[in-house]
Each structure stands twice: as structure tokens, then as C-alpha cells.
Chain A
Amino acid sequence: MATDARQLVLADAGSRDLTKLAEYEAVGGYQALARARAMPPQAVIDELIASELRGRGGAFFSTGRKWSFVPKPEQNPNPHYLVVNADESEPGSFKDNEILARVPHRFFEGCLITAHAIESTHVFVYIRGEYLGPFEVLRAALDEIGARQDILGEVTILLHRGAGAYICGEETALLESLEGKRGQPRTKPPFPAIQGLYASPTVVNNVETMATVPPILELGAAEYGKLGVKDSIGTRVVSVSGNVVNSGNFEIENGVTTLRELIDDLGGGIADGRELKAVIPGGSSTVILRADEIDVGYDFDSLLKLDTAMGSAGVIALDDRCCMVQLGVRVSEFYEHESCGKCTPCREGTRWMTAILRRLEAGDAIQSELDLLLSVCDRINGKCLCPLGETAAVAVASYVDKFRAEFQAHVDGGGCPFGDDSPLHGVVAPVAQHTLRRTAEAPA
């Protein structure tokens, strides 16, 4: 795995097998934990606030502040919980997969430090059901530290496997799922920090966030603060995929590396000598960028200026063969399939979007349906219970917005100008296939 920047999360993983406790300790593993436990919990929280670490799961919220919202045990006697979000299911991101598989101990060390900071002795790791490999790595690592009271201390860590539902990455849906229910998001407030798992104070953090905590305590907030750029301090593991030569995860310094460098240098450029057409910068939920828009630092503010986001740091490069309507169909099919079905606009709207996009792709759509598509997106956006529906609408609308001519051509030409030259042509999505698991007749 190539990288140009200083590695924190994946440090030494290239040269040693850090899945082994001994190896990890040989590079100073679990010393940050010892340091943290020597500090009062509040001091650890303050250190994190000072470090300006922001969550790596997508919302990019200050990790230290999130911890500080958790009431002190004397304020709320209920047990406090740390729930780690290892449900990584956002199309385009696969960073947590590699972090868990390669630096499980750094991950656990981060969990244990966090548990100390929020005065919790119960850690749940909700790992997506499909991640069997990473789960087994975690289990082995946990077996190793299980024998080590000095590491685990009073804390119990439970690995809880999901069962296939993207929405369970949303923190409140995740908590519902962890409670043994259908994974449908809760209304907020109350926020998990106040009423989370089993209605008790709960911190939900992303895998990478956890794996970033030990290095922060090692370096200290000040030193860590030298990495990255304003509002996007530190490093980030970025997943690069799609039509690049050299896809994979790259740990970079936020904002120092540009989006174009991610694709052309780290990613080795576009494969098969094709031209870059567009980039999805932060996973399927983010607004797409045209090839001419990507000379910006890969950081929160720079991408915000382009009305998009780092999201879950899943960078997908699309080459010039790709049809944007086909992309819209496939992305919309994904969200239709993953919508939890609780709130109306998302449940019905994503299905409606898919229907219109399919008609466009097939060349059946009339002019007004192109505007209808945008109107439906607009009617979903801002009306949903959780961000799933919203992001689906915003992402798809951005394809039309940035590639309007291409959508127009589908209407005018009564069909797809790309046809099966586009790799996205005729792709069968789960919603479209003869369904396996449904108990009832699929909708007509």
C-alpha cells in the first residue's frame, strides 16, 4: 500500500504483522493506553478536544466534544457504553475494512482509551456481517488481549456482527439493531450521548476515529495538530477505487494531498489510457465532481466550497466511458434497496427516483420527467428522518446538475448514447434481481 504522508493509523503495518500483539507492542503498542489511564478521564477528553480530531465516519464531528457530552457517572448512574461503528457499507469506502484487518490492536487500544475517557467498561463493536475476515482478525486479537489484564482492565469488549443493512451504519439505527430490533433510525434528540444503547449514555465512534486516538495521545495534541490543514487536522485513510490503475487505501495528510493527486499519483491515474470524467469524492452519498473540479486539497473546507464532502473518504474515479444516467440508476437502486422504510419520503422517493432514471436510460422518458426527477429529489431532500434519503437525492441531483447535457441527450435521442460501451450498462442490482430473501411477492 503506497503512501506519501506520515502514517499514524496504519503506521508500521507495511513492515510488520501488527495483528500480533507482540509485534504491536514491539512498536510501542498499548503505551498510549497506559499513558491515558494515568490521566484523569477529563484530561483525556481535553486532549482530544485540543487535537481537533473530527469523526472519520462521515459526519466529521469533533470527537472530543462528543465525548464531553456524556454525563459523568454521578450525573447518570446508568452504565455508559462505547459503541464502535464498524458497519462500513458506503459504496466506495473500504478503509475500515483494512484498518481492522491490519491494525486491530491499535483499534482496540483506541477503544480502551475512549472507554477510559467516558468512564465506560462496556465496549460493543458493531461490525458489518459481511466482514468475516476482519471479524476473525479482531476475534484473534481480542483473544490475545483477553489474557492480559493489564490491557483489558475492567473493560469487556463484545464483537457484534450485523446482518446486511447499510442503514445500520447510521448511529441510531445501529443502536436499534444492537438492541435486537429492525435497524431503523431514531429521532434525535435525544442524542446517543444522553440516551443511546438501552437508553443509557453512549458514544458512537467510527473505526478509524478509534485507531487515530492512540497516535494522538502518543504525539500529543500539539504535535498532531501540525498535521493536515485548518478544520481538517491530522491524517485520513482514503479509499480510492473505480477506473484507476492502482486502487486501494492511502493514508494522507488532510488537505495536503489534493484530490487529483489521490487519483493521478497514489491511484496511478486512469486505467486503460482512458480519460477521467468524474469523481465521487466521499462515497456514493456525496455530490459528484467533474474532472476539471478536482484540483483541490482533500479536506473538509475545500470540498465544502464545491458543495460536497469527504464523507467516508471513498474516492471513486469514473472514466469517459461511463454514462451518468446509468450511474444515477445504479446509485438510486442502492438507496432504494437500503432505505429502511420508516419515513415516507425516503421509502417512496428513492423508489420513484429509480423508476424515472430507468425510463430515462431506456429512452422512454419525456422532457418533463427530467424536471420531475429533480423535483422528486427536491421533495425528498430535507424531509427525511435520517440523512440516507437526503444524500441519495442530493447525489443523484448532482449528476443531473453537472451532466445535464448527457441526461438531455437521453431524452432527445430516445435512448442511451453510451449503451453497452459504458461499464455501468445493464448492471443487475439487488433490487432488480429475482429476490432471494423477500417473503412476499415483489412489487409489480
Chain B
Amino acid sequence: MIGPPTAGTPVSARPLAEMIVEIASHYPESRSAVLPALRLAQERYGWLPPEAFREVGEALGQTPAYCEAVASFYDMFHLKPVGRHLVEVCTNISCALVGAQQVLEAFESELGCRAGETSDDGEVTLSTVECLGGCGWATIVAVDHRYRERIKPEDVPAIVEELRGGD
């Protein structure tokens, strides 16, 4: 019996509610499915609009308010729209010590937006994040949740190119 789908898996066509109920059935108490359910909803919508909270709440017998309370506690949930791609640069100690800030600035100039913002074409959202648990392979940049290791400023143009060109 395995856990909920990952951010990587293609968004299924099944109705959200159905998938959520399915996940909830794996837990002794259905409320435990709130996080996986919110993740599913975010995959569906790209972020968490009010409808998402209504749907998740409906499926799990919680109020939309409750779902928002939970979602807003966790960094990985987006309560505002984000770009099609997400670039997250770890700027915690170990990455910073080997130049994470320069990597971040490289992304800022490539994308033409600051940390916390989305590029004008709406493609890429750039963000700093706290320690990603890859300090030994600093600087870590999570591109659409996949870790890229030992990133240097000179690697940045290629990554942005890839995101802009790709899919």
C-alpha cells in the first residue's frame, strides 16, 4: 500500500473528490488525508483557489475554512497563483556559504523577476526556500520539485532556457 501520488505524476483525469475519498480510506481517520488531498488539488489547479478548499473540505467532511487554515501553515501550498514552473533556491546556511545568493541573483536577472515573483510571461515562479536537506551538494535548486545539485550561477541560463523551451 503506497502513499499519495507525487508532484511528479501526471494529473489524473479522475474526479478530485473520488481520488480524495480513495486516499482517505487508507487512514484510520479521514482527516489525515487533508494534506495529500490539498496536494492533489494543487496539482489540479496549479495553486489553491477557494474552490479547491470547498472541494477538499466537502470530500473529507471538513469546512473550507479548516482546509485553508491547514494549507496556509505549510510552505509547499500556494494560496496565490504561481507560474507553470517553480524554481526554488535554497538560501540557508550551507548553500549560502557556497554562493546561493549569486545563484538566486542569476535567476532573477535571467527571469527578470525577484524572489517571490513570477516572470512576466507567467511561466516561472522564483522563490527562495529554507534548507532542502541537500547541504552536501550545495547549492540546491529545486526545479518543479526535482533537486538540481551543485548549481552555480553559470548553470542558470541553461535551466531557464530548458523551462522556457520545454513542454
A and B directly contacting (CB within 8 A):
yes
Which positions in A face B, CB cutoff 8 Å?
79, 88-94, 96-97, 122, 128-133, 135-136, 139, 142-143, 146, 156-166, 177-183, 198, 239-243, 247-249, 280, 284, 314, 316, 318-319, 322, 327, 330-331, 334, 337-338, 340, 423-430, 433-439
A247 touches B93 (CB 8 A): no
Main SS class of interface, B: loop
Q: Are A428 and B69 within 8 A (Cβ)? A: no
- Shortest beta-carbon distance, B39 to chain A, in Å? 7
- Between-chain CB contacts (< 8 Å), 16 pairs: A92-B93, A94-B135, A131-B133, A161-B39, A164-B74, A180-B32, A180-B34, A183-B73, A183-B74, A241-B138, A247-B136, A247-B137, A428-B128, A430-B129, A435-B116, A438-B79
Docked complex Cα distance between A79 and B27 (Å) = 13
Q: Is B32 in contact with A425, judged by CB distance below 8 angstroms? A: no
Distance in Å: Cβ of B32 to nearest Cβ of chain A: 5
Task: Determine if A158 and B130 form an interchain contact, defined as CB atoms under 8 angstroms apart.
Answer: no
Nearest CB of chain A from residue B25's CB, rounded to whole Å: 11
Interface residues on B, range: 35 or more
Q: Smallest Cβ distance from B163 to chain A, in angstroms?
A: 17
Within 8 A of A (CB), among B1-25: 1-4, 6-8
Contact B136 A91, beta carbon cutoff 8 Å: no
Among residues of B, the one whose C-beta sits closest to the C-beta of A267 is B136
Closest A residue to B142 by beta carbon equals A130
Query: Does the CB pair B93–A132 fall under 8 Å?
Result: no
CB distance from B149 to the nearest CB of A (A): 10
Q: Are B1 and A180 in contact (CB under 8 A)?
A: no
What is the distance, in angstroms, from A346's C-beta to the closest C-beta of chain B? 15
Cβ-defined partner of B32 (8 Å) among A178, A316, A330, A435: A178
Task: Tell me the complex Cα distance, A423–B125, Å.
Answer: 25
Contact status A163-B75, CB under 8 Å: yes
CB distance from B11 to the nearest CB of A (A): 16
- B99 interface residue (CB < 8 Å to A): yes
- Per the 8 Å Cβ criterion, residues 55-93 of B in contact with A are 60, 68-70, 72-80, 82, 91-93
Q: Which B residues fall within an 8 A CB radius of A?
A: 1-4, 6-8, 26-29, 31-36, 38-39, 60, 68-70, 72-80, 82, 91-94, 96-101, 104, 114-117, 125, 127-138, 142, 145-147
In the complex, given contacts A430-B91, A430-B127, A438-B79, what are 6 additional A-B residue pairs having Cβ atoms less than 8 angstroms apart? Answer: A165-B74, A178-B32, A242-B97, A331-B93, A334-B92, A438-B72
Taking the closest CB of chain A, its distance from the CB of B48, in whole angstroms, is: 9
Contact B96 A427 (CB under 8 A): yes
Does the CB pair B76–A130 fall under 8 Å? Answer: yes
Expressed in whole angstroms, the minimum distance between the Cβ of B108 and any Cβ of chain A is 9
Cα of A314 to Cα of B36 in the assembled complex, Å:
29
Contact A91 B91 (CB under 8 A): no
Question: B residues within 8 A CB of A93?
Answer: 133, 135
In-complex Cβ contact of B39 among A96, A122, A133, A163 (8 A): A163
CB-based contact A92/B98 at 8 Å = no
**Cross-chain contact B29 with A179 (CB below 8 angstroms):** yes
| Residues of chain A with a CB closer than 8 A to B82's CB | 436
The chain A residue with its CB closest to the CB of B67 is A180
Pair B70/A181 contact, Cβ less than 8 Å = yes
In the assembly, what is the distance between CA of A92 and CA of B132, in Å?
Answer: 9
**B115's contact among A160, A163, A337, A434, by CB below 8 Å, is which?**
A434
Q: Which of A90, A182, A423, A433 contacts B97 (CB 8 A)?
A: A423
B130 to chain A: which residues have CB within 8 Å? 89, 91, 166, 334, 337-338, 429-430
Give the residues in chain A near B94, CB-CB below 8 Å. Answer: 91-92, 241-242, 247, 316
Q: Kindly report which residue of chain B lies nearest to residue A184, judged by CB atoms.
A: B73
